[in-house]
A and B are shown apart, each in its own frame.
Chain A
């Protein structure tokens, strides 16, 4: 049955027959929400029922997956030109995103976290978590990650709104996620939204005809 039959709706002045009342009771029974495979049914006294999902959502652990933990962000490892970025935090010096050092040994400080600052938001309430690439402008080659050539940073500046990052003295930024501060919130980190999901290829394009040099971050 997909709807309450129209004959269960009497007009004013009609006599409420036992058939009508039985029909209504039966219809009420049919609208009882039963437990399903995906949820629990919790009656809330005098108010109704609450559906509680019991299936955990599928979490796909992709490259660059950014999750907030307190005032810091944990970034799942990913590769830029097959190289993993490094990151320093208050727990230890620069080390790879997977917590390994240059000798591929587990660093005693563990997996690095990006310590976030709520001052690094633009006037519209956005802050960006970026892969920061530093190159030698003479050769176009990326410096070693252990020497700060490939790191993760937080910034409020946007230099990539035309699809490529404008060069700033050999440095280019690739946003992998952005933080959006809640409307009206004066501080706090807000929610994180993912931008990148896959390994990245970096290419440097020198400026021509007086134009700006660019960093391209391609999938």
Chain B
């Protein structure tokens, strides 16, 4: 039997159906959702409540702005103060200031990478949930570093899912060292003479301040570690900043979802790298008195005066050792450790 109602009532009917849809509990990490025809029930997945450690991060969907956000629910600290979060502000009286982690800012996550396309090792956890590795997903690295997506060839009954990721990381400005080699007398009869000195700079520190910053990026921006030769010759540009990954935020798409624009239906997973308050110690300390440059005499011009070479050699060796010591003592990278 068909009950005929006024067709105009479909609008409120649809609104009720949509409201019911909104009432449904969505899966989230750490919670199990059970559904039956009698109702739905949520349970914490862990037998004991996990201890929320410093830097504990959650990913939340912002329905109003239609993007995912990170919230550090237990603020961590660097040198006993919470990091600033550039780009996030709070009103302090009538003044606007940059938010710190203790202000619990929601950090927008707008830049993502595809770990699979980047060739990162796929964790078994995500493989079991349907994320395909580079080979099986049909993602092929093309010439010139491009990645093209081939037609998908399912290999297992698990419906495929897309995985994207981004990183939260700490950045801390510090002073820099740079080697400077200055010719003093390159044409004189005494041979080539040059001064080797190490200069101390605070440009990044002056610009960004002493307080650590918590930032986001599609991928953790690793810092180039200069070789001994690069440090010796001063041929690398020191960024004046140390960085440390706090966590990787993964978003897993619903089954059979292609594309990398996440919405509320995607499921977040957080892999933490840090669990404790941190201390950052820079090996660079401002010298009270500028050190004297190390002066080096090379051999006499034209190869004459061989009898003098041995005499010169001893001072050469001493100068070389002093330079090696200077380079070894002016490693700019700071050290992150447990506070």
A interface residues (Cβ-Cβ under 8 A, vs B): 1-4, 8-18, 20-21, 24, 26-39, 51, 55, 57-58, 60, 125-126, 128, 158, 160-164, 175, 178, 180, 183-184, 191, 193-198, 209-211, 219
Contact, CB under 8 Å: A162 / B281: yes
Contact, CB under 8 Å: A9 / B14: yes
Contact, CB under 8 Å: B82 / A196: no
Chain A residues within an 8 Å CB radius of B77 = 178, 193, 195
Contact, CB under 8 Å: A211 / B79: no
Give chain B's interface residue range (CB within 8 Å of chain A).
35 or more
Smallest CB separation, A210 vs chain B (Å):
4
Chain B residues within an 8 Å CB radius of A30 = 35-40
Chain A residues within an 8 Å CB radius of B75 = 193
Question: In whole angstroms, how far apart are the Cα atoms of A11 and B8 in the complex?
Answer: 10
Chain B residues within an 8 Å CB radius of A2 = 24, 35
Of chain B, the residue at the smallest CB distance from A125 is B92
Please name the 6 residue pairs, one residue from A and one from B, whose CB atoms are nearest each other, closest first. A163-B281, A32-B39, A210-B288, A175-B80, A34-B39, A16-B5
Among candidates B7, B41, B44, residue contacting A55 with C-beta atoms closer than 8 Å: B44
Contact, CB under 8 Å: A18 / B2: yes
Chain A residues within an 8 Å CB radius of B9 = 16
At the interface, yes or no: B17 with Cβ under 8 Å from chain A? yes
Contact, CB under 8 Å: B282 / A163: yes
User: Number of A-B pairs whose CB atoms are under 8 Å?
Assistant: 160
Among candidates B3, B38, B280, residue contacting A21 with C-beta atoms closer than 8 Å: B3
Among candidates B3, B35, B43, residue contacting A38 with C-beta atoms closer than 8 Å: B43
Smallest CB separation, A63 vs chain B (Å):
13
At the interface, yes or no: B125 with Cβ under 8 Å from chain A? no
At the interface, yes or no: B155 with Cβ under 8 Å from chain A? no
Contact, CB under 8 Å: A58 / B49: yes
Smallest CB separation, A124 vs chain B (Å):
8
Contact, CB under 8 Å: B80 / A178: yes
Question: In whole angstroms, how far apart are the Cα atoms of A47 and B7 in the complex?
Answer: 28
- Binding site secondary structure of chain A: loop
At the interface, yes or no: B21 with Cβ under 8 Å from chain A? yes
At the interface, yes or no: B93 with Cβ under 8 Å from chain A? yes
Give me 27 A-to-B residue pairs in the complex whose CB atoms sit less than 8 angstroms apart, sorted by A's number.
A4-B24, A10-B14, A15-B2, A17-B3, A21-B13, A27-B20, A29-B37, A30-B37, A30-B39, A30-B40, A32-B38, A32-B39, A33-B42, A34-B38, A36-B42, A36-B43, A38-B44, A39-B42, A57-B49, A58-B50, A160-B79, A162-B210, A162-B285, A163-B279, A193-B77, A195-B77, A219-B337
Contact, CB under 8 Å: A11 / B37: no
Question: In whole angstroms, how far apart are the Cα atoms of A18 and B77 in the complex?
Answer: 60
Contact, CB under 8 Å: A33 / B25: yes
Contact, CB under 8 Å: B51 / A12: no
Chain B 78-121, CB-CB to A under 8 Å as 1, else 0, gives 01111000000011110000001011000000000000000000
Question: In whole angstroms, how far apart are the Cα atoms of A12 and B339 in the complex?
Answer: 63
